[in-house]
Structures are given as structure tokens and as C-alpha cells.
A and B are shown apart, each in its own frame.
Chain A
Amino acid sequence: MDTLADTTLLSLDALSLARGRADVLDNVTFTLGRGQTVGLIGESGAGKSTIALAIIGLLRAPQVALRGSIRFDGVELTTLPESEYRRLRGNRIGLIFQDATAALNPCFTVGAHLAEPLSRHLGLQARERRQRSIELLESVGIGEAALRLDAFPHELSGGMQQRVMIAMALACDPQLLIADEPTSALDVTIQAQIMELILERVRARAASAIFVLHDLALAAQVCDRVVVLYAGQVVEEAPAAELFADPRHPYTRALRACSIELGERDALVPIPGAVPGLEDLPGGCRFAPRCERASARCAQTPPLVTDGTRRIACWHA
């Protein structure tokens, strides 16, 4: 147990989350080791971002109904008092948002944004804060950092804004960095740079990271492990390379088939149908209505079966 606690930074155990009548997450379980990166994959509405928000504690009771457990560095987060949770956020857990333009307060300068966690968590004084902020900006590849501190978000390009977001998330040297589709709002040419930057910063600090992505190929490139989510459930989990090379769940396969970068052009097959509404989910396997291999058995919920380094939830696997 001790060794496990030492190597595991974060573990989600049977985490379920309901908001009103909508079951947003159902029985989500996975772990993240120290220095590891894990990717959360799935379509919109699969619950990826919800997991991110649940981990950082922005979706808690009484706002939502939360069951199961989230342990971070040996501490149970679901019952953690808000005041202590606040000390984790932005400090030991950093969050990078999908759309930096929206996630930066239009009324505050870059410097003000960066200064916040520095003063709150590290208690730095104005002079130190400024120094540190400049270092941070430089570390994420922003030139003329001192000038940029006084800039407002709208005066920066999208890529720059995302770099600022990253700098903010890294400001306090977090043990865990959660990146929620950090590049999807950016130009393709910049996406790679930003991804590279995040990975580089994470590795440089030997931190762990969770990447929320919808692109399986990208996940395969940047993550150690990948968790595939569908309609709030984990359907498959595996080391990234294995999963990409040999997806076993029909949904994972379908996702891979959608992937443009690595798949051949004519192999691009869209998934029929749409993600079911969270308020009236089908019984049994939730993917069954869209699954080409669906059969009578699928009316029953498939268990998440562990198979070596992988886990999968499908009767047909």
C-alpha cells in the first residue's frame, strides 16, 4: 500500500456525478502515477471536462451529487473542506482551459492574472511577483515578457493567450497539471507548439498531467495511458501506444477511424448517430444504439474487465 501511495498521485475510484436528473459520470475509475501523463478521450458530452472540474473541486456537493472517491497524493478530495481545497487549486493542481480567450478575464492585465496565484499560494511580494511572472512568461516562450505583463488579454494572439494560461497553471509548480483540450481553439500550426510546450514543462518538473482530448492520435502521441470515455463511463483504458495500435472497444475503434492524422483518407468513417442525452440514457451498454456489433447481450451493462495493462467494457471484446 505504501508503495502504491508513493507511486500513485491521483486515483479516481467509482466516481459518479449527477446533476439533477442527468448522470454525467458513472463509476469512473482510473489512476495516475507520479510523473505520468494520462489522456481522457471521448466525444463532447462524454464527461471528460467534468472529470477535470471534479478533480479540481469546482463541481462538488451540493451543486452536484458526487459519489465515489478522488484521492490526490494520499488525501481524499471529495470530503476535503473548501478552504483546504482552495490551497490545492492553482497551487498543487493546475488547470489549463480549452479556450484561453474566454478563460482570461478581459479586465485584468496579464500581470494581474499571473500575480494572483503567486501572491495567494506563495505569498510573494509585488517585486518578487513581477520577477517571477517575467520568468514564467519567458519559460513559456513569450518574448519581451516585462512588456507583456501590462498587456490586456485581447491585445495578445490566441497562441500567446494560451501560453499565458500555461504560465499561470505552472506558476506554483503544480504536482498535477490538467489540460482541458489546450489546443483545440488554436490554429493548427500553433497547436503542436503549445502541446510541445506543455509536455516539455511537465517533464521538466517531473509533474503528472491529465490531457483532456478528443483526438485519439494526439493522445497516443503525448500520453502514457489513455482512458476512453463514452457517455460518462470508462469504456476502455490502456497504454497509449497499445490502445492506438489495437483498439478493442468498438467505440475506440470508431474514434480511431475518425482520426485524420494517422488514418488513411478513405478509411475515415464517421460514427453514426449521436451521443445520447444524459437525462435518458439507454440501459445496458450505452454505446449499443450506435454500435455495429450490438447484440442482445448488450442490453446488460458490460463490466469493466481488466486484461493485463488494459481494461475494457464490452461484451464483444
Chain B
Amino acid sequence: MLNRLFAQVGQTALVLFFVSVASFVFLKLAPGDPVSLMLGSDYNKDSYDKLFTELGLDRPWAAQYASWLGDFVTGDWGRSFVSNEDIFRLAVMQALPVTLCLAAYALVLALLIGIPAGVLSALKRDTWMDLCATGVAVFGNAFPSFYLGIVLIWVFGVGLGWFPTLGFVAPWENLLEGLWYLTLPAITLAAWYIGLIARVTRASLLDVLGHSYILAARARGEGSARVVWVHAMRNVLMPLTTTIGLQLGGMLRGAVMTEVVFALPGLGMMITAATLNREYTVVQAGVMLSGLLFVIVNLVVDQLYTWLDPRLRRLA
């Protein structure tokens, strides 16, 4: 057990190492550097060279990477070139919670809407209700999040004035307001998952409902609601968890766009801005963090899956 854990940790570390090297090389190969950006229209060679040297960007790539790695593993994530902000603070204390809140809220929304929609369309298979629910699911999968976000902002933020259009209020400081502020972004991010979850739920539920144990439950006098929501859904949860788990790591993809559109200072925004600024230290920290999230999510899903499916549990 412990061996397995160590192997897992080792493998994760290796993957993350690979990821950091790749992002470093990418950003170094890309034309442009943070110094040109910092100087902008006030560019002059002297200031440029001075800043370039000061930031250590004149050293050989290998040296730059090595010193970054050395610091990183000892817990010093360095400072942003442009903002001089402590990267650990920026990434872990500031950006990560935003993205996690957004993702969690979006996931809850997606489950709350996606599962009933999927169940409805499975139970009312081939009726207009199925068509509507499938339609919602399919369209949720189809709108680019940046466009959906902008439309939501204009309709529900500007037009109807129901929700704030941008900004982040920490839900751990003020839960209601935090959720209120995050609602439109969460819907934007959730749209894709609503579709996904509805479709998986529908397909899995249809499959599960065909099993004899459902018939058997009804033969014991169980009511339809209980049969569907307890007996069947308990089994639908397994494929659902797998799917969500696989896609959750990719939630950052949607988060990038959502965070840009709604001006949320999350990980996606941080990495996007840093990529455009060629701040390899920030990008590496961000990508490592998202890689780590990816790995953690997978581990959690594995655990969850074992917990959900008794057949995978080992007899003690």
C-alpha cells in the first residue's frame, strides 16, 4: 500500500517535472520577454538591459531553469517579474481558491441541473420532454464559454440586473454574496458540464433501468421514485463519477475563458496573463498546480469510485 503510494508520488513528481520543463521551453522559445512588456512604449536599450540582467534573464536557459527548480522544490516559488508578487502567494493563496470556488460551484450547478435533466429524458424517453432535456444538454455543450459568458452578462447582468457581472467576493467571507457574484461565471462554466452530465445520466440510467435488480426492486413493492432515485441512481453514480472525474481536470480549460470574461483572478486568468507576459516562473507554478490538481482529482475519483462501487472494494 505504502509502496504503491510512493510509486504514485514518484510518478506524479516525474510528470510534473516534465510539465515544468515543457512549459519553460515553450515560453523561452516564444518570441518576446517580460522586460519588453514592462517597458512597453518607454522602451530603451539601457533600461531593458538593466532589467533583463536584474531579473536574471541573461543567464543560460539551463541555469535559469535549474535555479528555478532548486528554489521551487525548497518552497521558494520566486517572484513575478512584472508584478514582483510572491508567486506562491499569488498562485496558491489568491488564484487557486478562486478557481476552486468557481469549479465547485459550477460542478454543483451542473449536477443539480444535469442529473434531473438526464433522468427526465431517460424516463420520458422519446417524448418531447426527452427532446427538450436533450436539447438543453446538447446546446450546453455547444456554446463557446466566452460567448455564453458575454451573453449572460448582457442579459442577466445589464439587461435584467439580477446578477453582478464581474468580480469576486470570497465565499468564505460572505457566503451569499460570494455565491451571488459567482453565479453567472458558474453557469457559464457549468453549461458544458450540464450537457455532459445529462447525457451520461440519460445513457447510464437507460442502461441501469434495464437490469433485473430494478425489476426486482419494483417486484418488492418499491415506488417508482425510490426505484429511480435510490436503486437506479446509486448505480448511475459510478459511470457518472468516472466521466466527471476525467473531465474535471479539464475544467481549467473552461475556467480560463470564464475567468477572463468575468474578470475573476483565478488560476486560468493567472496562467493566461503570465503566458502572454512570458513569465515562465508564474506559468510553471500555475501549470504545476493545475497538473497537481489533475492528479489529485484523479486520486479522489479513484477513491470515490471504489467507495461507490462495492465490487471494487477489497475484503479486509
Contact = CB atoms under 8 A, between A and B. Distances in A.
Indicate yes or no for A touching B, C-beta below 8 A: yes
Interface stretch (A105-113, A136-144, A272-280): A105-113
Contacts of A165: 216
A105 B221 contact: no
Contact of A99 (B212, B220, B309): B212
A155 to B, nearest CB: 7
B220 A154 contact: no
Given A88-B221, A107-B310, A120-B222, A95 B216 contact: yes
Interface string B281-311: 0000000000000000000000000001111
Contacts of B218: 58, 89
Q: How large is the interface on A (under 10, 10 to 19, 20 to 34, 35 or more residues)?
A: 20 to 34
B129 to A, nearest CB: 16
B215 A58 contact: yes
A315 interface: no
A229 B308 CA distance: 43
Interface residues of B, number: 21
B231 A152 contact: no
A116 B211 contact: no
Nearest to B308: A107
Nearest to B213: A105
B100 interface: no
Nearest to B237: A107
Given A108-B234, A116-B217, A102 B212 contact: yes
Contacts of A89: 218-221
B215 A107 contact: no
Contact of B311 (A53, A58, A90, A106): A106
B9 to A, nearest CB: 31
A297 interface: no
Contacts of A106: 213, 235, 309-311
B315 interface: yes
Contacts of B213: 102-106
B283 to A, nearest CB: 43
B31 interface: no
B222 A56 contact: no
Interface string B218-261: 11111100000001001100000000000000000000000000
Contacts of B310: 106-107, 109, 152, 154
Given A102-B211, A152-B311, 12 more contacts: A56-B219, A86-B221, A86-B223, A89-B220, A90-B220, A103-B212, A105-B234, A107-B308, A107-B309, A116-B222, A120-B220, A154-B310
29 contacts: A58-B218, A58-B219, A86-B221, A86-B223, A88-B221, A89-B218, A89-B220, A90-B220, A90-B221, A91-B221, A95-B216, A95-B219, A95-B220, A98-B212, A102-B213, A103-B216, A104-B213, A105-B216, A105-B217, A105-B235, A107-B234, A107-B310, A108-B231, A120-B221, A120-B222, A121-B221, A152-B313, A154-B310, A168-B220
Interface of B: 211-213, 215-223, 231, 234-235, 308-311, 313, 315
